[in-house]
Chains A and B, each alone.
Chain A
Amino acid sequence: MNKRFDMMLPRRRTIIGGVALAAAGAAAPARAQLTIDMTKPSFEPVPIAIVDFAGDKVGADIAGVIRNDLQSSGLFRTIPPSAFIQRDINPNAPPRFADWRGIGAAGVVVGQVTQAGGNIKVDFRLWDVVVGNQAAGLSFNSQPANWRRLAHIIADAIYKRVTGEEGYFDTRVAYVSETGPLNQRVKRIAIMDQDGANNRYLTDGRTIAITPRFSPTLQEIVYMAYGEDRSTPPRVYLQNVESNRRELLGNFPGMSFAPRFSPDGTKVAMSLAQDGRTNIYEMDVRGRGLRRLTNTSAIDTSPSYSNDGTQIVFNSDRGGTQQLYIMSASGGAEKRISFGDGRYATPVWSPRGDYIAFTKITGGSFGIGVMRIDGSGERLLANGFLVEGPTWAPNGRVLMYFRQQPNSGGRAGSVTLSAVDITGRFERQVPTQTDASDPAWSPLIPQ
């Protein structure tokens, strides 16, 4: 068994590449309690044990990242290692299933780290304790510095095996880091892993920079920033995430803002304001050609492309209050889709194409909600004094947004990132180093 596995290794070409591990036990498909249907109205989180990976001291760190990822999804309950009965587990052989059933685990994850010529090789196996067989197994080879990514990729594989949905742990979040008093707030674009690790800043904070949005390849972000000089209107910039090289996306006489990439990354939709009117335009990223998509004397903003790129949902107050509208991605065929009480804003099309997430303002409170693309089936998932700006996880099953507490005593209320699954059952705070707003969730990082 191990020999067969070893022979598979040279076939890997990429730095981080997953290779299926041959089952160490019976090969029958597993079912029962190691699966979860997250769309059901009620479910119990899957109890899962993640054993510190053997072979290297980074193995415990890898297991810790996997535990944190799975626990944060709300779909898993990770069993603390102190409760484990079997301590002599062999990462290449079936565990003693009775020992793991004894502590209520439905699944157990084991793995090992081995040094491989300057790289590390990380294997893992997910054992279905209920059925008594191997449910998943993969091997990866990478530079040692990538150990966190390997852990996220393994967590994604476990998530997928148990839920049937793609994972979202090997992703990044761009957001606005906020520091200082409100009337001279420093707002910088920052980027981090979805679990808060590897935080770094993409702008220097000399001018306000807000509304970051990822390109589909994660290579670039678009955002709006003010100029050093007050007579220059705020404008949209395109910035490479690795080199930090940035360029202006169009030099317009008025403010340009609310940028967002098309799903194929070739275009950016954005708002241009002129003489009190705000309309939506589309810019070709390579040729910089500009096309006008709406023509109104009202405010049309926050455009978001459909997952197939053929339509755009946007926010307009053309009817008197802010509502959501859909139009063709080439302009025209505009149709209002929001009809509930209150104001609707910041629509974002799900990457799966099934829902549109939005911010809703009703009376004195804000909510984060979803509706189907025809506007039906509206549900609010989170609410508060101020919650705003949803962004989708790449699997379309979790939303991140920001939550601001009221200011009091001349001091700014805290601003933090939160995430909630689309059933609205499980809301959690996302850790950030500073106050944080306006998250943008990346697609899965290309492997």
Chain B
Amino acid sequence: MRIIKAVAAIAALIFMAACSEQVPVAPAGAAVTPGSVADFRQNVGDRVYFDTDMSNIREDGRATLGKQAEWLKKYTNYAITIEGHCDERGTREYNLALGERRANAVRQYLVAQGIPAARIKTISYGKERPEVVGSDEAAWARNRVGVTTLQ
């Protein structure tokens, strides 16, 4: 009995592994034009996340912003607006300022990577425009975000 179960489990693992190798997954960027907004969003990543009540760029955010800077240097035809957002666990007016501080932290990072400051505007949405509707840590973590938008 036990052996049969174990065999079945192993078979399942092999099957799954085989599947992932044999069925080609379409590359995420296959359908998008290089240099398009969709390209930026899908292949570079347009957002960085923040810790509660913080505005410093985290390690994961630095990697994303490094890629953003590279891309933005290649495609110089876009004007850039950084949106700063906060979770709902702060007061409205303070969060407007915190969102501005976050957007500005992203802007400064990109400027340090060589993007002209004049190309980048910022706007804070405070806690007025949460992307994820939820009242748990997972939702809040995704709503503490700086979004690089292209015009």
Chain A residues packing against B (C-beta within 8 Å): 181-185, 187, 208, 210-211, 224, 230-231, 233-234, 254-255, 257-258, 271, 273, 275-278, 299, 301-302, 315, 317, 321-322, 345-346, 359, 361, 385-386, 388-389, 404, 406-408, 410-413, 437-438
| Set of chain A residues within 8 Å of B55, measured between Cβ atoms | 276
Segment at the A interface, from B1-9, B12-20, B29-37, B92-100? B92-100
| Set of chain A residues within 8 Å of B105, measured between Cβ atoms | 276
| Set of chain A residues within 8 Å of B131, measured between Cβ atoms | 183
Cβ-defined contact, B94 with A302, below 8 A: yes
Given known pairs A275-B104, A276-B55, the reply for A183 and B96 (CB within 8 Å) is no
> Can you show 22 pairs from A to B with CB atoms below 8 A apart?
A183-B132, A187-B128, A230-B123, A231-B121, A231-B151, A254-B100, A273-B96, A276-B104, A276-B108, A278-B101, A299-B98, A299-B101, A301-B93, A301-B94, A302-B93, A315-B91, A315-B93, A315-B94, A359-B91, A361-B91, A385-B135, A437-B92
Chain B residues packing against A (C-beta within 8 Å): 53, 55, 79, 81, 88-94, 96-98, 100-101, 104-105, 108, 121, 123-124, 128-135, 139, 149, 151
Chain B, Cβ-Cβ closest to A388: B91
CB distance from A284 to the nearest CB of B (A): 22
Complex: A367 Cα to B133 Cα, angstroms: 23
CB distance from B86 to the nearest CB of A (A): 12
Cβ-defined contact, A276 with B128, below 8 A: no
| Set of chain A residues within 8 Å of B97, measured between Cβ atoms | 257, 271, 273, 278, 299, 301
Given known pairs A211-B92, A359-B91, the reply for A407 and B100 (CB within 8 Å) is no
Cβ-defined contact, A404 with B88, below 8 A: yes
Partner of B81, one of A231, A317, A406: A231
Closest 3 CB pairs of A and B: A276-B104, A406-B135, A345-B91
Given known pairs A210-B128, A385-B135, the reply for A299 and B94 (CB within 8 Å) is yes
CB distance from B115 to the nearest CB of A (A): 16
Complex: A437 Cα to B134 Cα, angstroms: 18
| Set of chain B residues within 8 Å of A359, measured between Cβ atoms | 91
Complex: A318 Cα to B17 Cα, angstroms: 54
| Set of chain B residues within 8 Å of A273, measured between Cβ atoms | 96-97, 100-101, 124
Partner of B92, one of A210, A322, A406: A210
| Set of chain A residues within 8 Å of B101, measured between Cβ atoms | 273, 276-278, 299
Cβ-defined contact, B94 with A345, below 8 A: yes
| Set of chain B residues within 8 Å of A257, measured between Cβ atoms | 93, 96-97
| Set of chain B residues within 8 Å of A406, measured between Cβ atoms | 135
Complex: A231 Cα to B132 Cα, angstroms: 23
Complex: A386 Cα to B135 Cα, angstroms: 11
Excluding A230-B151, A234-B96, A255-B123, 15 further A-B contacts by CB distance (< 8 Å) are A182-B130, A183-B132, A224-B96, A230-B149, A231-B151, A255-B124, A273-B124, A276-B108, A301-B94, A302-B91, A322-B91, A345-B93, A345-B94, A388-B91, A411-B133
Complex: A181 Cα to B134 Cα, angstroms: 12
Complex: A85 Cα to B15 Cα, angstroms: 87
CB distance from A53 to the nearest CB of B (A): 42
Chain A, Cβ-Cβ closest to B139: A407
Cβ-defined contact, B134 with A407, below 8 A: yes
Cβ-defined contact, A410 with B100, below 8 A: no
Cβ-defined contact, B91 with A346, below 8 A: yes
Chain B, Cβ-Cβ closest to A258: B93
Partner of A407, one of B91, B98, B133, B149: B133
Complex: A271 Cα to B95 Cα, angstroms: 12
Complex: A367 Cα to B10 Cα, angstroms: 55
Partner of B90, one of A208, A361, A389, A438: A361
Interface centre among B97, B104, B105, B132 (most CB of A within 10 A): B97
